[in-house]
Chains A and B, each alone.
Chain A
Amino acid sequence: MSDFLKGNFTTENDVVDTNSTGESLEQRFEREALKKLGGSIAFVAKKEVHWGDEDES
């Protein structure tokens, strides 16, 4: 980004790039969106109930 943008003043503090992962803004949006997209709870194939004591799964 610094190749394209040139400021016209000097900042009081050093500006640190916090995007250490190298992800684009779009990728970060996608990652955050994916986190919210899932179901309410898990699904386990070929299982009904596991009573725990006298098991009859």
Chain B
Amino acid sequence: MNESPDVNSLGMQLVAQMSDITRDRIQALALENAHNNLSKIQEGVSLKALREETAGMGDKAIIIAAGPSLKRKHVAEQIIAANYQGAIIATESSMLYCLRQGIIPDLVVTVDPHPKRIVRWFGDPNLTEADLRADDYFERQDLDTSFSEALRTNDEILELLNKYGPQIKIAVSSSSANTVVSRAHQSGMQVYWWNPMYDDPDQENSITRALQTENNLPCVNAGGNVGSAAWMMANAVWKKQRIAVTGMDFGYYAETPYRNTQYYYEALALAGEERLDELYMHIFNPYLKKWFYTDPAYMWYRECFLQMAAFTNNQTFNCTEGGILFGDNITFTDLSTFLSA
């Protein structure tokens, strides 16, 4: 097997289209959400204000994303044991993990406009068994398997967030669904608003620029996903110079069944059972000397992230200790090394 996927494979052909596919999938919904959020944005606080807030000591930041390595590598335990004093920025999907471990991040980030799925990370006050039967996204995935005990976990995060919400700052994208916005406000979180970039704001007729004119929020390149958006917050908002990412696998452990991946049903529809190996891409991680595999969306996230890392002056350390995110401008190392440096 080749150590990186064939550029002509079905998977890589889809990666090449992923930017367009993503735009077709989310842009209209994201902009509709932004319009619906306008009154709350005008009453709220801009991300600009966050630049004046201190986040941790020194020039270090750790991003906590919710990939499968997060629990396997005991990220929270290591951070606590090292008495780490730098900034911690978490994706909304890793918020439950952080709070369970006794970590209140300096910032939580949310960006995906999905009306039903994202609110689950905040605890969905309206979650029903019918919802769970209709969408097995969380249950199938190796993200946070405790969601397989979904209703009980939902109650737990509702309670945790109601308790700790007032201590948590959250960067809420204007693209977020009203379910997420309501939950963030309802739990007392300190909301800072921002726009994700949809196109180059310096270009004529830019959608991003038009949105900024309407709501006066800063526009941040979110890199395709919330983990990359969190990294960008450390980089662009707080100017952290040494940024470690954890739980940022952008892929799956080799032993994970295809069925437990985020786009399994779509992959089946596109490729059929017999061609799934052409859609999923198998990658050898030379640092860990292990195989991982990924799907077109995660592979696209990886390519976007490598471009973002190349464009900045900070140092990025991938301390995930798993997955497929490696390449130029990224130091692949373990978390304990980053913590002790």
Q: How far is the CB of A28 from chain B (nearest CB, A)?
A: 10
Question: What count of chain A residues pass the 8 Å CB interface test?
Answer: 25
Q: Which residues of A27-57 are within 8 A (CB) of B?
A: 29-30, 32-53, 57
Residue among B30, B216, B297, B311 making CB contact with A37, cutoff 8 Å: B297
Contacting pair B221 A34 (CB below 8 A): no
Contacting pair B22 A39 (CB below 8 A): yes
Q: Which residues of B192-227 are within 8 A (CB) of A?
A: 196-202, 208, 212, 216-226
Q: How far is the CB of B294 from chain A (nearest CB, A)?
A: 13
Q: Which residues of A5-35 are within 8 A (CB) of B?
A: 29-30, 32-35
Chain B residues with CB below 8 A from A38, complex form: 18, 21-26, 297
Contacting pair B263 A49 (CB below 8 A): no
Residues of B within 8 A of A (CB): 14, 18-19, 21-27, 30, 48, 111-114, 173, 175, 196-202, 208, 212, 216-226, 228-229, 232, 235-237, 263, 265-267, 269-270, 296-297, 300-301, 304, 307-308, 311-312
Q: 12 other contacts beyond A29-B270, A30-B270, with CB at 8 A cut-off?
A: A33-B267, A35-B25, A36-B263, A37-B18, A38-B21, A40-B111, A41-B229, A43-B223, A44-B208, A48-B308, A50-B208, A53-B48
